[in-house]
Amino acid sequence: MQAAQARARTLIEALPYIQRFAGRTVVVKYGGHAMVDPALKEDFARDVVLLKQVGIHPVIVHGGGPQIGEHLKKIGKEPRFVAGMRITDRETMDVVEMVLAGLVNKEIVANINRAGGRAVGLSGKDGGLIEARKLVLSRDDPALAAPEILDLGHVGRVQRVQPTVLRRLEEGGYIPVIAPVGYDPRDGTSYNINADFVAGAVAEALGAAKLVLLTDVQGVLDREGRLLSKLTPEQAEALIQKGVAQGGMAPKLRCCVHAVRGGVGAAHIINGTIPHALLLELFTDEGIGTVITTTDSP
């Protein structure tokens, strides 16, 4: 009886969140260990289907770095990175597109459909969804008079998101699953784009209520390693400037800040290795990760 009552309390706690976000869009960046562990993959698919079932519109943007690395090794091509970003020549881009838009994307679609949902896989090329431009990076070199320009090949940035195809899918009861491959409509060149920033740009274009980034860490931590459960955009920027948010967390925070300032209701960074992490973050009072928002209520 106590276990049954506890489950009932959980459902009651979720009710106001379901009511608040019914009819709204939640964009989820799916990556990390949650994409590899079989049990977590099943949990994620069920969570996404539940969101759709209660009237919330999930849109999934996924990564796939480890899978790309595995397939490059199979063809004898060693991955190369500069400033933490994959150098993507034409041959590598062909593998990236095959793995992301083919193998990884369709596995996620199949998992969601098997859980009772209706998922449709897309890349940024479908319906002109993600218009991209070549990403140009520079770094200071004391030996040079000017900053060194880094050529990463087919690595891009989001120029524009055309969300029409996503809105049509949402209206038809489908769950879009997006591979982070964009294209330049001027010459048709394909670009590999960071999935976090694709998710953020999609969330802005759809006016999403939520952007959720699944990671392999608890969330944003302070210098003592304690979880920071809620941040304003200004506080998040200060953590980056002070070096508290380092490594891969810094660009994730920048992505969240940009999305919130671009009209997204709130951005969340959560640990996707926790079973049903998505539901725990969205439908419970305490949540499990870090939320970046300008409002009092997440």
Decide if 67 contacts 246 (C-beta within 8 A): no
Of 149 and 171, the structure prediction assigns the larger pLDDT to 171
Residue 186 has pLDDT above 90, yes or no: yes
Tokens read off for 103: 């193998």
By mean pLDDT, which of 54-63, 135-144, 169-178, 238-247 is the weakest? 135-144
CA dist 40 and 258 (Å) reads 29
* pLDDT at 141 (0 to 100): 52
How many Cα atoms within 13 Å fall on the side-chain side of residue 4? Answer: 1
CA dist 251 and 36 (Å) reads 23
* pLDDT at 276 (0 to 100): 93
Residue 216 has pLDDT above 50, yes or no: yes
pTM of this structure: 0.92
When pLDDT is cut at 50, 70 and 90, the band that residue 106 belongs to is: very high
Residue 277 has pLDDT above 50, yes or no: yes
CA dist 271 and 28 (Å) reads 13
| pLDDT tens digits along 282-295 | 998 888 999 999 87
Domain 58-193 has CATH 3.40.1160.10: yes
* pLDDT at 82 (0 to 100): 73
∠ CA 178-182-183, nearest 5°, is 145
* pLDDT at 287 (0 to 100): 87
* pLDDT at 137 (0 to 100): 77
Decide if 155 contacts 85 (C-beta within 8 A): yes
* pLDDT at 298 (0 to 100): 58
* pLDDT at 47 (0 to 100): 96
> Strand pairing partners for 277?
none
Enumerate the domain spans of the chain. 58-193
Residue 145 has pLDDT above 60, yes or no: no
Residue with tokens 């660009």: 251
When pLDDT is cut at 50, 70 and 90, the band that residue 75 belongs to is: confident
* 290 CB-near residues (< 8 Å, 6+ apart): 219, 220, 227, 228, 229, 230, 231, 268, 269, 270
Residue 146 has pLDDT above 50, yes or no: no
Mean pLDDT for the stretch of residues 183-191: 95
* pLDDT at 149 (0 to 100): 57
Residue 170 has pLDDT above 90, yes or no: yes
- pLDDT > 90: what percent of the chain? 66
Residue 107 has pLDDT above 90, yes or no: yes
Residue 140 has pLDDT above 80, yes or no: no
Mean pLDDT for the stretch of residues 64-85: 84
The CA distances from residue 46 to 22, 24, 115, 130, 288, in Å, are 18, 19, 6, 27, 18
| pLDDT tens digits along 229-259 | 999 999 999 999 888 887 788 889 999 999 9
CA dist 81 and 229 (Å) reads 32
